[in-house]
């Protein structure tokens, strides 16, 4: 009986301890209580979700996350200071109250909210990454309605016990909104968690037997080596600790560094390129010498943040590491000698360059420094020639094979990666069909852009291409290849290798420009090089002379994007904006534009600083001037209509002739035109803008309706259909295109246009 009593007490202790331990370690009961995945009648993106606190005390939600609730099915992290009161809700919305149908102020507004309509699965995790609640199984939402499936009103889904139901009431929405849901209302029905209590097994005490207290028996001493089947394991606190979160490369990036400021401390700037909020607790920035600065707070979507170092960054070069809470390197930058007051900043191609204008906690402004060569150095250079510059540390850095505006803007760019001036004499850049010999010098850490107009190297667009950089000894020191060019994109060298960035390629580079020869000044580009010495002494950032600003008024005849993202036409003049920053315009708008007059390959243009330099002041009827082909050169920049017989066709270009004169017609990529179905011998009526390129006059139609086949060759014969139809407001013929060809005499053939497929498809 004594043995049974002792066993009963032991069982009671064994069953009691785990129950108390479970109660102490279980996470607070916070649940996802309502999900509005369908948006609203105002916007499909008007999405929100709600958490409910079932506890009797307030809970700090800082650093909690909801997997599957953010863009691209990623996790949404709650901000620092997020508190949910007891028996209350916490509302998370994609839109603020004044932009949403909500009539209740959300507790957290972030544009990262993105709830799937077809594969919903949400996982609520606390700040130790422990799973607290789940919603959905990755398939269709279990409840709720959207207008897209024919319902008269949008309905959220609400938790009811272990199930989800569609909302049937409407609370906390704007007046007049028929949406169903209860944002901000505690209306969930969640059963209390069942706890199974195991009663200890105790033998009953027989009354007629005396109750004897248990005899305390001292355990016999057992030598450790005799314990074979049992092993005592002490609790390992490290095993129970929650690992800090780990981030991937590029989730946060180093964006700008100042190592030698004019005043104040050195600083390093980071940037969050994504539409999420990242808690910075546990992050750090470290330099190569071991000095480290800890980060804190939150960094929201596309926001900047910076920290200061106190005389820890080396002015002559250093390495900066960005570390996540797990100690992983998320980004790393090796600094060159940046220079007093300058910064090292990312440019639009995601490459680091030196700029003379630091922009702490703001968008980077790239203005590269002027490279000066002292007079004494020039004298030494004249006397000693090659002795003044070190062996060149040159490399290929980018290719621009398929510009959107004109093929002659193709270029190859090299970089001097060394710390001293590099000799370029007898270095060669080449592809399979053409070589170009360099000469002169190139400053340390500067890039030299070599345009096609100088090198005569025509980079392939639709087939494989290889470009090589060859030293004076004939050794290939660098090369790169691609299978097919991407229109308008730069093929650039990055830390991860060569790649096509998704950013559009600017036509005016911020690198050192190779001087272009005048027409006819150099006939042997295989042996004659352009010296980089003269251009190394000038700034590579083109400056605007504000004294030459001019204003002009005109009627829009070709909108931005028609012939290139950076240009548009008013009647008589091309307007150019470097970043393509134009207002929304239509053909027929009368505008007033202010800018700096310039020329591009002989054609006059007005260079604009930004979108606000173009103002719409009215509208007008656009009419094309009817001209003969031989008069086209007198109408550069104007909208014209002319006619001619197709004498030649090659890809996106064809030639029309009339009365002994000829004119090239070009199908620009923004027009989606293709000439492949137009036969030689057909007579065309073409409306377009006259453009000039190095003394070559071209006609640029704006779309399919600018071209009409008026005489089509059929089996060697010519049949006529002279169509005179009214003009629309934009100067184009109403009902042109295929109509002219299909109304020719019996037997005439209809010429059907085929849209040019984008290379990306």
Average pLDDT of span 553-561: 94
**Residue in the block written with tokens 């910076």:** 306
Concatenating the DSSP letter of every residue in 688-709 gives EEEEEETTEEEEE--SGGGEEE
Confidence of residue 499 (pLDDT cuts 50, 70, 90): confident
- pLDDT band (50, 70, 90) for residue 261: very high
Rounded average pLDDT over 104-115: 91
CB 418 within 8 A of CB 390: yes
pLDDT at position 686: 95
Work out the pLDDT band at 407, boundaries 50, 70, 90. low
pLDDT tens for 408-417 read 678 899 988 8
Every domain of the chain and the residues it spans: 30-166, 253-355, 375-537, 546-619, 625-742
Pairing of strands 573-577, 603-608: parallel
Q: Would you place residue 311 in the very low, low, confident or very high pLDDT band (cuts 50, 70, 90)? A: confident
**Distance between CA 280 and CA 272 in Å, rounded?**
11
Q: Identify whether the C-beta of residue 394 lies closer than 8 Å to the C-beta of residue 420.
A: no
> Torsions phi, psi of 487, nearest 5?
-60, 130
Q: Which string of b and e fits 369-393 if b means at least 16 CB within 10 Å?
A: bebeeeeeeeeebeeeeeebbeebe
Answer CATH for 546-619 from 3.40.50.970, 3.40.50.150, 2.40.50.140, 3.40.50.2300: 2.40.50.140
Torsion of CA 462, 463, 464, 469, to 10 degrees: -70
Contact 40, 177 (CB under 8 A): yes
Spatial strand order of the sheet with 447-451 comes to 497-499, 491-494, 394-400, 411-416, 447-451, 512-513
129-177: pLDDT as tens digits:
899 999 998 888 999 988 766 677 889 999 987 889 999 888 999 988 8
Asked if 491 and 485 touch (Cβ cutoff 8 Å), the reply is yes
Supply the CATH classification number for the domain 625-742.
2.40.50.200
Do the Cβ atoms of 211 and 205 come closer than 8 Å? yes
The neighbour count for residue 271, using CB atoms within 10 Å, is: 21
What is the average pLDDT across 640-655?
Answer: 88
More confident residue, 610 or 755: 610
pLDDT tier at 227 (50, 70, 90 boundaries)? Answer: very low
The half-sphere exposure of 177 on its side-chain side, counting CA atoms within 13 A, is 22
The span from the CA of 32 to the CA of 30, in Å, is 7
**Residue 386 DSSP SS3:** helix
Confidence of residue 334 (pLDDT cuts 50, 70, 90): confident
Phi, psi of 119 (to 5 degrees): -140, 65
Asked if 19 and 13 touch (Cβ cutoff 8 Å), the reply is: no
Q: 673, 723 in Cβ contact below 8 A?
A: no
> What token pair was written down for 412?
């190859």
Average pLDDT estimate for 723-745: 31
Minimum mean pLDDT among 355-359, 422-426, 480-484, 584-588: which range? 422-426
pTM above 0.75, yes or no: no
Tokens for 33, please give them. Answer: 């209580």
Residues constituting the chain: 761
Q: Which of 266-270, 600-604, 670-674 has the lowest mean pLDDT?
A: 600-604
Query: 3-class secondary structure for 155-216?
Result: ECEEEECCEEEECCCECCECCCCCCEECCCCCCCECCCCCCCCCCCCCCCCCCCCCCCCCCC
Which among 4-18, 280-294, 533-547 has the top mean pLDDT?
Answer: 280-294
Instruction: Please check whether the domain covering 375-537 is classified as CATH 2.60.120.340.
Output: no
CATH architecture of the region 30-166: Sandwich (2.60)
Check whether 229 has a pLDDT greater than 70.
Answer: no
Q: Which residue has the higher pLDDT, 213 or 688?
A: 688
pLDDT the model gives residue 743: 29
Q: What is the pLDDT of residue 246?
A: 75
Question: Look-up: residue for tokens 């331990």?
Answer: 21
Q: What is the pLDDT of residue 728?
A: 32
Q: How far apart are the first and last CA of the chain?
A: 86
Buried (b) or exposed (e) across 490-522, using 16+ Cβ within 10 A?
Answer: bbbbeeeeeeebeebbbbebbbbbbeeeeeeee
Q: Which residues contact 686 (CB under 8 A, 6 or more apart)?
A: 641, 642, 643, 644, 656, 665, 699, 701, 706, 707, 708
Q: 253-355 maps to which CATH number?
A: 2.60.40.1260
pLDDT higher than threshold 50 for residue 230:
no
Q: What is the pLDDT of residue 276?
A: 77
The more confidently predicted of residues 170 and 240 is 170
Q: Of residues 299 and 757, which shows the higher confidence score? A: 299
Asked, colleague to colleague, whether 546-619 and 625-742 share their fold, the answer is yes
pLDDT tens string 204-226: 544 454 544 555 555 454 444 43
Average pLDDT over residues 19-33: 61
């Amino acid at each position: 009986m004594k043995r049974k009593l002792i066993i009963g007490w032991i069982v009671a202790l064994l069953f009691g301890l785990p129950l108390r331990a479970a109660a102490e370690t279980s996470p607070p009961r916070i649940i996802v209580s309502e999900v509005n995945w369908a948006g609203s009648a105002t916007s499909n993106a008007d999405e929100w979700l709600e958490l409910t606190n079932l506890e009797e005390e307030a809970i700090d939600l800082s650093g909690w996350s909801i997997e599957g609730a953010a863009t691209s099915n990623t996790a949404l992290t709650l901000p620092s200071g997020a508190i949910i009161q007891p028996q209350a809700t916490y509302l998370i919305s994609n839109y603020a109250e004044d932009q949403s149908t909500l009539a209740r102020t959300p507790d957290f507004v972030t544009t990262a909210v993105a709830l799937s309509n077809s594969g919903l699965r949400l996982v609520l995790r606390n700040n130790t990454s422990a799973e607290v609640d789940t919603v959905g199984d990755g398939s269709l939402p279990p409840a709720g309605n959207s207008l897209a499936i024919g319902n008269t009103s949008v309905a959220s889904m609400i938790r009811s016990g272990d199930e989800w139901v569609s909302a049937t009431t409407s609370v906390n929405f704007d007046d007049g909104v028929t949406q169903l849901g209860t944002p901000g209302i505690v209306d969930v029905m969640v059963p209390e968690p069942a706890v199974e209590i195991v009663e200890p097994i105790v033998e009953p005490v027989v009354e007629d037997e005396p109750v004897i207290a248990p005899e305390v028996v001292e355990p016999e001493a057992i030598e450790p080596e005799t314990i074979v089947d049992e092993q005592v394991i002490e609790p390992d606190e490290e095993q129970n600790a929650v690992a800090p979160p780990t981030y991937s490369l590029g989730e946060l990036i180093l964006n700008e560094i100042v190592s030698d400021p004019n005043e104040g401390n050195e600083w390093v700037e980071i940037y969050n390129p994504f539409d999420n909020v990242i808690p910075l607790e546990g992050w750090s920035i470290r330099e190569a010498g071991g000095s480290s600065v800890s980060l804190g707070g939150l960094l929201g979507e596309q926001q900047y943040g910076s920290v200061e170092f106190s005389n820890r960054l080396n002015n002559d070069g250093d390495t900066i590491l960005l570390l996540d809470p797990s100690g992983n390197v998320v980004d790393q930058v090796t600094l060159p000698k940046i220079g007093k007051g300058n910064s090292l900043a990312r440019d639009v191609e995601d490459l680091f360059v030196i700029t003379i204008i630091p922009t702490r906690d703001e968008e980077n402004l790239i203005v590269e420094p002027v490279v000066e060569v002292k007079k004494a150095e020039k004298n030494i250079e004249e006397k000693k020639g090659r002795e003044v510059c070190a062996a060149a540390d040159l490399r290929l850095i980018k290719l621009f094979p398929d510009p959107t505006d004109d093929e002659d803007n193709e270029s190859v760019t090299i970089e001097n990666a060394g710390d001293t001036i590099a000799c370029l004499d007898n270095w060669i850049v080449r592809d399979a069909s053409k070589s170009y010999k360099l000469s002169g010098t190139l400053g340390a850490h500067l890039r030299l852009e070599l345009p096609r107009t100088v090198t005569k190297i025509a980079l392939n667009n639709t087939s494989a291409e290889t470009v090589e950089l060859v030293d004076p000894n004939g050794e290939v020191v660098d090369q790169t290849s691609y299978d097919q060019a991407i229109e308008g994109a730069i093929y650039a060298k990055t830390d991860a290798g060569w790649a096509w960035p998704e950013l559009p390629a600017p036509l005016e580079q911020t690198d050192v420009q190779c001087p272009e020869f005048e027409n006819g000044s150099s006939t042997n580009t295989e042996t004659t090089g352009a010296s980089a010495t003269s251009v190394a002494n000038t700034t590579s950032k083109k400056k605007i002379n504000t004294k030459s600003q001019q204003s002009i008024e005109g009627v829009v005849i070709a909108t931005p994007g028609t012939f290139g993202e950076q240009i548009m036409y008013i009647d008589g003049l091309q307007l150019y904006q470097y970043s393509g920053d134009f207002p929304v315009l239509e053909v027929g708008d009368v505008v007033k534009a202010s800018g700096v007059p310039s020329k591009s390959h002989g054609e006059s243009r007005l260079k604009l600083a930004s979108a606000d330099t173009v103002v719409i002041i009215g509208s007008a009827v656009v009419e094309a001037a009817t001209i003969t082909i031989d008069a086209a050169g007198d109408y550069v920049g104007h909208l014209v209509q002319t006619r001619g017989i197709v004498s030649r066709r090659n890809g996106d270009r064809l030639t029309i002739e009339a009365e002994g004169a000829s004119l090239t017609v070009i199908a620009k990529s923004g027009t989606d035109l293709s000439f492949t179905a137009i036969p030689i011998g057909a007579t065309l009526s073409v409306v377009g803008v006259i453009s000039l390129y190095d003394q070559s006059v071209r006609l640029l139609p704006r779309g399919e309706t600018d071209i009409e086949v008026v005489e089509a060759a059929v089996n060697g014969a010519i049949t006529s259909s002279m169509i005179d139809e009214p003009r629309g407001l934009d100067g184009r013929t109403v009902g042109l295109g295929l109509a002219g060809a299909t109304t020719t005499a019996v037997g005439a053939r209809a010429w059907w246009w085929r849209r040019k497929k984008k290379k990306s498809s």
